[in-house]
Amino acid sequence: MTTRANVAVLKTIKDNHIRIDGRRSKVSNYYIQETVFEKGARIPVPLAHVVAEKPTIMLFADDEPLSNWAHPCRYLLHDAATGQLYKEVPAHLPPYAGTTDTPSSFVAFHVASSFPAISKYSVVDKIKFPIRYIYTGKRYAILYAGMSNNRHTNDLEFLYRTLVHVYGYTPANITVLNYNGTLNYDGNPHPVVHWPGDNTPYTMPVNGPGTKAALLNAIDALKTKLKAEDSLLIHTNNHGGGVPDYPESVIFCQPNWDTLTVTDFTNKLAQLPKYNTLMVMMEQCYSGGFNAPILAKSTAVNTSVASAADAYHTSAGGPEFDPFAQEWIAAMNGHDAYGHALAYNPDANHNGKVSAQEAFNYAKANDPADVPAHPVFNAKNAGADSWLGQDVFWVNLLSSAVLKQAIVKSWPPGDPGPRPEQMQEVVERLMPQLQELGAANNQQIDAFVKQHEQNITRLVSGLKLN
């Protein structure tokens, strides 16, 4: 049974700390648990054993509220009878892992720092660009967020839309692991309905929870799939830890701050067969500690790793997206999450594609976060030049005479279509089969069109068009 703290004592504790903390109170956010921890009760400091030495009121100070966890915070323990501070516990994680286990008695009473207002989207239609490439090797992606807040899940959705609608990834080749295996996350807004980028429903299917086992299993599943020409993108998001709390950088996972270490992650990557390209983008705090070990253990010919922070610093968060992740994905996408134009063209060498290095450079230059995140980039072989597409055929499918003719011939009589957007929809529906045709023939475009004219016509005529 919990005991409600004395109102006068609560007020004394709150007033004293705003006064005593001085400059800290101008940036730190403060929370207080308005119930009493009895003597001998465990104080909810994650990954530590702290007990109340007497009847105690706990005040929690978040000293870097605009950063992802783990970052500096304090547990301030007060005598429940007098309000006097008797112990300060420095830490790097908050007391409660999610909204389901946060008691209603744990409340904010001083919020000095909050995320800035957002300039909302300028387009409301889903992000959609013409698909201009046919690829040989298959492309796989793993998008991961463990102890997710809304911004982490939103980053995953932005990247998922970019992969599918800009680069034509096959959705079945993208594994999304988030929080408890749903679109949910810790924090508001709830219910989770619309993605804030363009205010449309989320499109990514969540394939599993953000657990350590689920991430390692997702990598395991690629052992029998990856071939010599294939590529793999891995994006890790949410929170992380590092020195001095851990001997190496870690990713925090469900449930309750479980840890996935650099060694866990890279040993699993080392078990993959040889393939063409590995591109990794990490958002969590202390993520730079993964860079060198990934390069050392990667079995890909070409590898790149972009991390939002080095091995000794936290990464910044935002109200709806993480700044570094949003800018990296925006560089790859061509617009930001709200449909706004980019600050400049990230394609520095103007070769028609944004490389891993160019996306990192853009994210580092345009990260608007107030907290310096110290992003880092490393690559081996041609990893810096890798991108989310692959160079085989440059073929604008919507201008292909064969494809246009096949669609027109198969269109229902009497229907005024096909309009341009209907043409593109048919192309997107056919993309997996067209990719297979492209993989079967690595000759010139004219030879490809001539050889597969009947195949393309057959594919289009087999669709139910309306």
pLDDT range class, residue 1, cuts 50, 70, 90: low
The Cα–Cα gap between 434 and 431 comes to 5
Q: Give the best-scoring range by mean pLDDT among 152-166, 364-378, 402-416, 436-450.
A: 152-166
Within 10 angstroms of residue 378's Cβ, the number of other Cβ atoms is 19
- pLDDT 10s digits, 34-71: 999 999 999 999 988 999 999 999 999 999 888 889 89
Which residue's entry shows tokens 């880092």? 376
pLDDT score of 130 more than 60? no
Look up residue 239 and give its amino acid. H
pLDDT score of 442 more than 60? no
- pLDDT 10s digits, 238-261: 999 998 888 999 999 999 899 999
User: Which region among 25-34, 172-181, 246-255, 425-434 has the lowest average model confidence (pLDDT)?
Assistant: 425-434
| Per-chain mean pLDDT for the chain | 85
| Both structure tokens of 397 | 């499918």
- The answer to whether 367 and 373 have CB atoms below 8 angstroms apart is yes
Q: How far is CA 294 from CA 268, 415, 418, 431, in A?
A: 10, 54, 48, 32
pLDDT score of 232 more than 80? yes
Domains and CATH numbers, the chain: 3-111 (no CATH), 133-385 (3.40.50.1460), 395-461 (no CATH)
Partner residues linked to 277 by β-bridges: 231, 302
The Cα–Cα gap between 20 and 126 comes to 50
pLDDT score of 286 more than 80? yes
- The answer to whether 216 and 244 have CB atoms below 8 angstroms apart is no
Q: pLDDT higher for 419 or 436?
A: 419
Portion of the chain with pLDDT greater than 90, in percent = 60
Closest CA relative to residue 154, chosen from 281, 318, 363? 318
Q: What is the pLDDT of residue 414?
A: 76
pLDDT range class, residue 395, cuts 50, 70, 90: very low
- pLDDT 10s digits, 297-312: 999 999 999 999 999 9
Q: What is the pLDDT of residue 450?
A: 57
pLDDT score of 133 more than 90? no
pLDDT range class, residue 396, cuts 50, 70, 90: very low
The Cα–Cα gap between 356 and 308 comes to 13
Q: Give the best-scoring range by mean pLDDT among 135-149, 202-216, 384-398.
A: 202-216
pLDDT score of 359 more than 90? yes
- pLDDT 10s digits, 192-220: 889 999 999 999 999 999 999 999 999 99
- The answer to whether 134 and 393 have CB atoms below 8 angstroms apart is yes
User: Which region among 123-137, 158-172, 334-348, 361-375 has the lowest average model confidence (pLDDT)?
Assistant: 123-137
- The answer to whether 144 and 234 have CB atoms below 8 angstroms apart is yes
Side-by-side strand order, sheet with 250-253: 240-241, 250-253, 258-261
Look up residue 301 and give its amino acid. V
Cis status, amide bond into 65, omega within 30 of 0: no
Cis status, amide bond into 189, omega within 30 of 0: yes
The Cα–Cα gap between 132 and 122 comes to 25
Q: What is the pLDDT of residue 123?
A: 36
Give phi and psi for 192, each to the nearest 5: -80, 110
The Cα–Cα gap between 453 and 455 comes to 5
Give the CA angle between residues 253, 278, 343 to the nearest 5°: 85
- The answer to whether 114 and 107 have CB atoms below 8 angstroms apart is no
DSSP string, 359-421: HHHHHHHH---SS----EEEEETTGGG--SS--SEE--GGG-HHHHHHHHHHSPTT-----HH
pLDDT range class, residue 225, cuts 50, 70, 90: very high
Look up residue 217 and give its amino acid. N
Q: pLDDT higher for 60 or 120?
A: 60
- Give the DSSP letter of residue 100: G
Q: How far is CA 319 from CA 66, 87, 155, 197, in A?
A: 9, 33, 12, 12
- pLDDT 10s digits, 309-341: 999 999 988 899 999 999 999 999 999 999 998
Helix (H) or strand (E) holding 152: helix 150-161
Q: pLDDT higher for 407 or 170?
A: 170
Helix (H) or strand (E) holding 457: helix 445-461
